[in-house]
A and B are shown apart, each in its own frame.
Chain A
Amino acid sequence: MSDTQTTLLNTPNTAPEVRNPAELPADAGEPVFEVSDLDFFYGSFRALRDVNLGIGRRRVTALIGPSGCGKSTFLRCLNRMNDLIPGTRVDGRIAYHGQDLYGQGVDPIEVRRQIGMVFQKPNPFPKSIYDNVAFGPKVNGLKPKSMDDLVEESLRRAALWDEVKDKLKQSAFSLSGGQQQRLCIARAIAVRPDVILMDEPCSALDPIATIRIEELMVELKQDYTIVIVTHNMQQAARVSDVTAFFTAEVDDAGHRTGVLVEADATSALFTSPKDQRTDDYITGRFG
């Protein structure tokens, strides 16, 4: 176990003092992300402090924690979506397959092509279902032998094909919320990413649509690395291999800063959390 941890955290070119090492299970797998001593700032407001976490390949990693503790912020650091917000700053290092994600010469466009994202609220484009899925491949200059096939395959993988195969030319807004969210997943898959980040993808959905998307995640993890933010602890328990618990610490001046409390194999974290705060949270005594 400590072996895995060392290889995950001692990334090349950095020798940061690891103050809050994330506990990782032995089967965390080959690392895709190695986050070390990550601080994140919105202007002068520090939203994250000293986050150290490894994210394993072809695993589902769940991020849980009370509202406002920085889960979304952390997730958006992983595909550089926070670059869009003026005045934000990243300290520390995020290695993606060993390369510094925020290093010189890294093209955030290429990063986002490889690291896809599904948002909390379904956000299809005001275009047809077909064009929604084809958008990513077109933008990225992918030239599949047949775009029709790529669209069909992506929709099939997102478990949506049967419901929409007869109305591909219709507006994406004609779909239900759950179907729209699966369309957004299909859209993300269509660019053949390496990682899929999901920020509370089921929060707007009913239990049945939620189950479908959970099944989908389990299936997708054969090929993709998935990181999911969720407020639903049953969901984290059902779909994830590793769970990371974040919380907000309040300092003397009253500033709230997000920290990673612990990360472990999901079963271990839910049955025997090492930190009292985790225990309080998962047993419902907090938040």
Chain B
Amino acid sequence: MSTSITAPAGRPAPSRGSSTSQTEAPRPITGKSISVGRRVRNTTATVLVGLAVLVAAVPLAFVLVYVVSKGGGVFNLAFLTESIPISSRRAGPGMGPAVAGTLLITGAATLMAVPLGILAAVYLNEYGQANRLAAAIRFLSDVMAGVPSIVMGLFIYTVWVLRFGMSGFAGALALACLMLPIVIRSTEGVLRLVPRDLREASTALGARTSRTILTVVIPAALPGITSGCLLAVARAAGETAPLLFTIGTVRALNPNLFEGTNTALSAQIFVNAQLPFVAAQNRAWGAALTLILLVLLLTIIARIISARFTVR
């Protein structure tokens, strides 16, 4: 009777040794039972992986420390808001027009690329699936993601700037072209992760595909979509090459994106770093620090949003 309780049929007793195993001392489960060879291999692997992490992190840390030490001297609130001195030789703030330009141009690019990219991704994942058009779009967006940003700038230069002249909007177009493939591929990846269960549950309740996408799939994927889009924004905010042909690099603030040349932080870094004046070079470092902080801010926002809206 008692044996039938203590020895359930589904779980055979460990077959180590003979029937006397009941009185045998339990095998140790402490680290000493691990062989020397295995411990050596373990330590070596740990050290190697640690070194690799260090090697990867050092340049990053170096860039960060260097930019902060060089740009920290000029960075303050006035630097963010004051206009750029007429004379590059003169020390002092600021980079206001460039900060405004970066925010406006990147914002406009985001307004164009994000809705378009999300719609394209919804088409690819929800409607297109394996059809030829979807395959073609996927292929093209991969190619587009690989196009160097300077080529994208040249492209907008020929199709837009030659006809309508330089403007903040032309720069936004170039940045949007760079962002679009990133938004498409990251959003499509996130949409693919939404479980089929959820779509089926919604469909089984009588929801149309469009309704299912809007009320179930996109809300479920929102954290991932948001962080993907913000990464694309961060990438665009730092681009220089496509802006040089499209917005020009003026000093004055130009809040009108559709008329006249404009400026941005990245463009100002490019220009000022080449000037022979220490004051201008310092402003370039300050602009670099501003840009890094801006991207950092966006990344943190992306993290918070993904954490906040993930329902578990």
A119-B197, A126-B219 given; A79·B312 CB < 8 A: no
Chain A nearest CB from B289 CB (Å) reads 39
B222 — nearest CB in chain A belongs to which residue?
A126
Chain B nearest CB from A157 CB (Å) reads 16
Task: Provide the residues of chain B in CB contact with A188, threshold 8 Å.
Answer: 204-205
B205 — nearest CB in chain A belongs to which residue?
A136
Contact of B201 among A79, A86, A125 (CB under 8 A): A125
Task: Provide the residues of chain B in CB contact with A110, threshold 8 Å.
Answer: 206
Task: Please measure, in the bound complex, the distance between the C-alpha atom of A187 and the C-alpha atom of B311, giving whole angstroms.
Answer: 19
Do B203 and A171 touch across chains, with their CB atoms under 8 A apart? Answer: no
Task: Provide the residues of chain A in CB contact with B311, threshold 8 Å.
Answer: 126-127, 171, 173
B interface, size bucket: 20 to 34
Per-residue interface assignment for chain B, residues 128 to 146, with 1 indicating a CB less than 8 Å from any chain A CB and 0 otherwise: 0110000000000000000
Which residues of B, 161-204, contact A by the 8 Å Cβ criterion? 195, 197-204
Interface presence of B211 (CB below 8 A): yes
Interface presence of A274 (CB below 8 A): no
Count of A-B contacts with CB under 8 A? Answer: 70
Task: Provide the residues of chain A in CB contact with B216, threshold 8 Å.
Answer: 125
Which residues of A, 109-159, contact B by the 8 Å Cβ criterion? 109-110, 112-113, 116-117, 119, 121, 123-127, 135-136, 139-140
Task: Please measure, in the bound complex, the distance between the C-alpha atom of A119 and the C-alpha atom of B207, giving whole angstroms.
Answer: 16
Do B203 and A123 touch across chains, with their CB atoms under 8 A apart? Answer: no
Task: Please measure, in the bound complex, the distance between the C-alpha atom of A188 and the C-alpha atom of B202, giving whole angstroms.
Answer: 10
Task: Please measure, in the bound complex, the distance between the C-alpha atom of A191 and the C-alpha atom of B211, giving whole angstroms.
Answer: 16
Interface presence of B89 (CB below 8 A): no
Interface presence of A184 (CB below 8 A): yes
Instruction: Give the most central of A109, A113, A125, A173: most B CB within 10 Å.
Output: A125
A123-B197, A125-B198, A125-B216 given; A112·B312 CB < 8 A: no
Task: Please measure, in the bound complex, the distance between the C-alpha atom of A123 and the C-alpha atom of B219, giving whole angstroms.
Answer: 15
Contact of A135 among B197, B200, B202, B312 (CB under 8 A): B202
Task: Provide the residues of chain B in CB contact with A84, threshold 8 Å.
Answer: 199-200, 203
Task: Please measure, in the bound complex, the distance between the C-alpha atom of A124 and the C-alpha atom of B199, giving whole angstroms.
Answer: 11
B211 — nearest CB in chain A belongs to which residue?
A139
A184 — nearest CB in chain B belongs to which residue?
B201
Task: Please measure, in the bound complex, the distance between the C-alpha atom of A267 and the C-alpha atom of B200, giving whole angstroms.
Answer: 34
A109-B206, A171-B311 given; A121·B201 CB < 8 A: no
Task: Please measure, in the bound complex, the distance between the C-alpha atom of A102 and the C-alpha atom of B11, giving whole angstroms.
Answer: 50
Do A81 and B201 touch across chains, with their CB atoms under 8 A apart? Answer: no
Task: Provide the residues of chain B in CB contact with A81, threshold 8 Å.
Answer: 200, 203-204
Chain B nearest CB from A227 CB (Å) reads 13
Contact of A173 among B129, B130, B201, B312 (CB under 8 A): B312
Chain B nearest CB from A245 CB (Å) reads 25
Task: Provide the residues of chain B in CB contact with A171, threshold 8 Å.
Answer: 311-312
Interface presence of B90 (CB below 8 A): no
Task: Please measure, in the bound complex, the distance between the C-alpha atom of A187 and the C-alpha atom of B202, giving whole angstroms.
Answer: 10
Task: Please measure, in the bound complex, the distance between the C-alpha atom of A171 and the C-alpha atom of B310, giving whole angstroms.
Answer: 11
A126-B219, A127-B311 given; A121·B205 CB < 8 A: no
Per-residue interface assignment for chain B, residues 280 to 312, with 1 indicating a CB less than 8 Å from any chain A CB and 0 otherwise: 000000000000000000000000000000011
Do B201 and A119 touch across chains, with their CB atoms under 8 A apart? Answer: yes
Do B205 and A135 touch across chains, with their CB atoms under 8 A apart? Answer: yes
Per-residue interface assignment for chain A, residues 176 to 204, with 1 indicating a CB less than 8 Å from any chain B CB and 0 otherwise: 00000000100110010000000000000
A126-B219, A127-B311, A173-B312 given; A187·B205 CB < 8 A: yes
Sample 11 A-B pairs with CB under 8 A, ordered by A number.
Answer: A109-B206, A113-B206, A116-B205, A123-B201, A125-B202, A127-B311, A135-B207, A135-B215, A136-B206, A188-B204, A188-B205
Chain A interface residues (CB < 8 Å from chain B): 79, 81, 84, 86, 109-110, 112-113, 116-117, 119, 121, 123-127, 135-136, 139-140, 171, 173, 184, 187-188, 191
A-B pairs with lowest CB-CB distance, top 9: A113-B206, A126-B311, A123-B197, A117-B204, A136-B205, A139-B207, A123-B201, A112-B206, A140-B206
- Additional A-B contacts beyond A86-B130, A119-B200 (8; CB < 8 A): A79-B204, A81-B204, A112-B206, A113-B206, A123-B198, A126-B198, A127-B219, A173-B311
